[in-house]
Amino acid sequence: MPQSELLKRVVRALNESDIPYMITGSFVSSLQGEPRSTHDIDILVALRPSAIDSLVVAFPPPDFYLDRDSIIRAIKDRGMFNLIYVPEGDKVDFWILTDEPFDRSRFARRRREIVLGEELVISAPEDTILAKLRWAKLSGGSEKQFVDALRIYEVQYPNLDLKYLERWAKDLSIAKLWQRLKQEAETVM
């Protein structure tokens, strides 16, 4: 199954289980900036324990690996769990929505867009930029994450909320990366 079909299947399962979600990460940065291949799909979810079983049932073995205990731990720890499409090794990383202010802010700002002929809920470009810069910092300066953020900034520049970006860059302690991004960006006005 192509990655796009896996994503559609996951979104349908989330919708049917009434699990609020937001697609983020490199999949979304490829839509908002410069396309690049990625082997996983990142999804932020507001998952209640009562929805675990319906999610597990939607992805049965042997084609899928989705561990119920990992989901329970992820909810408890506010961490993440994986869904793996076994035949091809494609992976979906589910990140549990936390009470962290940035998590709450970006989840509240998510938007619906038609992608791959399907209505998907994705992160706003500003939040994708900030998350990519934060990952760049956390990973010790990942240039791939930085370039993803840079390309989104360049493509989306006319429509970006720059005050929002400035505020969160400061609050997330990524102001140096944010300044570097603005200096390196080639925007068309």
Q: How confident is the model at residue 71 (pLDDT cuts 50, 70, 90)?
A: very high
pLDDT given at position 141 = 65
Q: Distances in Å between the alpha carbon of 71 and those of 12, 76, 95? A: 19, 9, 10
pLDDT given at position 139 = 78
Cβ contacts of 21 within 8 Å, gap of 6 or more: 11, 14, 43, 44, 45, 46, 121
Express each pLDDT in 33-47 by its tens digit: 887 777 789 999 999
pLDDT given at position 118 = 87
Task: Please report, as a single letter, which amino acid is at residue 134.
Answer: R
Give the best-scoring range by mean pLDDT among 23-27, 29-33, 42-46, 114-118: 42-46
**pLDDT for 189 beyond 70:** no
Fold of 3-122: Beta Polymerase; domain 2 (3.30.460)
Q: Where are the domains of the chain?
A: 3-122, 125-184
**pLDDT for 25 beyond 70:** yes
Task: State percent of the chain over pLDDT 90.
Answer: 80
pLDDT given at position 158 = 93
**pLDDT for 12 beyond 90:** yes
Tell me what percent of the chain is helix, strand and coil, each rounded to the nearest 5. 55, 20, 30
Average of pLDDT values for 162-175? 96
Cβ contacts of 83 within 8 Å, gap of 6 or more: 10, 59, 64, 65, 66, 91, 92, 94
pLDDT given at position 2 = 78
For residues 56 and 151, is the Cβ–Cβ distance under 8 A? no
d(Cα 80, Cα 70) in Å, to the nearest integer?
Answer: 8
78, two tokens: 């506010």
Q: Distances in Å between the alpha carbon of 177 and those of 143, 150, 155, 159? A: 11, 10, 18, 20
Compute the mean pLDDT over every residue in the chain, rounded to the nearest whole number.
92
